[in-house]
Structure 1
Amino acid sequence: MATPEKISEVGQILLDTKQPLKERFRALFTLRNLGGEQAVESIAACFEDGSALLKHELAYCLGQMQDVRALPHLVAVLEDKSQEAMVRHEAGEALGAIGDPTAIKVLEKYVNDPVVEVAETCELALGRLHWLEEQNKNKLNSTQVSSDNKEEDVDLPENPYKSVDPTPPARVASVEELKATLMDENLPLFKRYRAMFTLRNLSTTDAVLALAEGLKCSSALFRHEIAYVLGQIQSPACVEALTQNLRDLAESSMVRHECAEALGAIATPEAMSVLQEFLSDTERVVRESCVVALDMSEHENSGQFQYADGLNKVETKSVEVNLSTPVQAVTS
């Protein structure tokens, strides 16, 4: 168990703007893994940082922690129009991920936000919360056959990646059927996301190539999520598709950044070479994503077990300090 003092030290690494960004990211994910009120507060304290990438990741981690104590912090970020679009979007997604129905009212306020990515995210988050409500209702009425217990919500596939996703998966179907749903821009985004996550869960090469087609769809939010799931799968089969979107300077920075992080997770020599090209990109969020992604690649190729190693680092530093302290002479 980490002591409050050690959690505080990890939090200080996260807050320290003089620390390399890759070390702050590792500290963030350490706090996410530790969980608890102190970790939530340490993460939330960093929302005034200048890095949109880091703030976006703060919101993501708070959502994955599913701790209701994060709700007021995330609501404040969503409502703050001075925050970058990708940060507000991630705050909205995190409100859906936590799954508490008290977030419904604030999400409803922003389903028509002038920032399309924020509006679409809030729509998806509301969809997830309403879906969870129906699932809970069906559990309570399990002795009866509920008209709300739709066939599409029975026997859903397990998520091997253990992430809290913006929508549930769809039922397993052929890759062709799922791809048709994924690519149909006349369908609700919620339904297309469900097909996306089932393809992600299948993780076959055919499924990966079907997902990669989604990088050509019109919604930047959708393309960004496609890149995210491709990073989860870590298949070299999508390196070319991710590279095309990263190299497209007309592409949304939110999408390009996610493509960079996905390439970092895939961690092949080709993917790492592409990331090196964009370390001086004109977009700060892309530059920083490439730095973090290369650190992720190094971790993937190192054989080390723990990426979120912030706790180990503060403990090692503590030991080093103790060893360097001169031994005092004992006198009687």
Structure 2
Amino acid sequence: MSNIGEQEILNIGKVLNDPTRPMKERFRALFTLRNLGGETAIKCISECFTDESVLLKHELAYCLGQMLDKRAIPVLRSVLEDNKQDPIVRHEAGEALGAIGDPNLRELLEKYQYDPSIEVAETCQIALQRLNWVANDGASEKLSKSPYSSIDPAPPSGENNVATLSKTLMDETKPLYERYRAMFSLRNMATDDSIKALGEGLKASSALFRHEVAFVFGQMQDERSIPFLKKALEDTAEHEMVRHEAAEALGSIATDECTEILKRYLNDPRPVVRESCEVALDMSEYENSPEFQYANTLFAVKAEA
């Protein structure tokens, strides 16, 4: 990627920041910028936090966290501190800061672990626990290896018994951080029993927790999770952050059944949900196509030039 010029990156940024473009094109531009990395890409992503789309801003924060670049900290900090931003966006900014893992963020996360928005507060509590884990050399623990390239909000548990992990997952008296660790261990197992256990996690009281279960199912791309995701998306009383993750997960699994489910919610009254379905259908189309990569805006802008 070192031969990509700054102007080409800026052109991709123009696609991302153009509200007249379809959301699916802007998503592809965002993930292209994430993959390219660097200061110019971060700048292009940061400029988009003035957009009206809560879904897009949520994904901006996610991508900045996954880039693991400390130069993204100032904008993520400002988003977390901005009470005018939707809690879904602020939560993702807090999670992104936890992913970057800078110990200097402790004071900020400690402040927002008591935020009036429960999703923001819980996210910052988990991020603080991750900082503690990193500081205590937790990376040296012998844990199950993730088959995914994502930086997770919590490491997997050291436990490998499904029944024990399932009990921890659903124990509302335990800290969310411990339950997240159980969740990621169950994800890494990817067995019938572990998928059923994760499906039970969609009944937890925390919307943040339920949304993470849906996200994990999206990573796994396992057809066995479709009934759980379908139920979450179809529940109009469910928190929109959960329904949006369920939609994107269905897009990643990309079966004909998933496509039919998603099409039914393209006109959902909640913008976050209907935009997620639009993006998810584009993801599904990609999964079923011979395209080399989803984040392909670099080639698209070259073709437009």
Shorter-chain-normalised TM-score: which range? over 0.9
1:280-332 deviation per Cα after TM superposition (whole angstroms, max 9, x unaligned): 001000000000000000000113220000101111222xxxxxxxxxxxxxx
- The correspondence for 2:52, drawn from 40, 50, 53, is 50
2:62 is matched with which residue? Answer: 60
1:230 is matched with which residue? Answer: 217
Larger radius of gyration: 1
After alignment, is 50-59 or 170-179 more displaced? Answer: 170-179
Name the TM-score, length of structure 2 as normaliser: 0.97
- The correspondence for 1:28, drawn from 27, 30, 42, is 30
Match of 2:288, SS?
helix
Match of 2:295, SS?
coil
Matched, 1:130 2:132: yes
Paired-residue identity, %:
57
The code of the aligned residue for 1:106 comes to L
Match of 2:282, SS?
helix
Q: How far apart are residue 116 of structure 1 and its match?
A: 0.3
Q: Distance in 1 between matches of 2:212 and 2:132?
A: 21
Aligned length: 303
1:12 is matched with which residue? Answer: 14
Name the TM-score, length of structure 1 as normaliser: 0.90
Structure 1: tracts of 5 or more residues without a match: 140-152, 319-332
2:288 is matched with which residue? Answer: 301
Matched, 1:194 2:181: yes
Q: How far apart are residue 206 of structure 1 and its match?
A: 2.1
- The correspondence for 1:112, drawn from 111, 114, 135, is 114
Q: How far apart are residue 172 of structure 1 and its match?
A: 4.3
Q: Distance in 1 between matches of 2:70 and 2:107?
A: 15
Matched, 1:276 2:263: yes
Matched, 1:166 2:153: yes
Match of 1:50, SS?
coil
Change (3 A) 1:70 1:256: same
1:98 is matched with which residue? Answer: 100
1:63-97 deviation per Cα after TM superposition (whole angstroms, max 9, x unaligned): 00000000000000000000001000000000000
**Greater than 3 Å deviation, 4+ residue runs:** none
The code of the aligned residue for 1:44 comes to S
The code of the aligned residue for 1:247 comes to E
Q: Distance in 1 between matches of 2:180 and 2:216?
A: 11
Matched, 1:315 2:299: no
Q: Distance in 2 between matches of 1:270 and 1:111?
A: 40
Matched, 1:261 2:248: yes
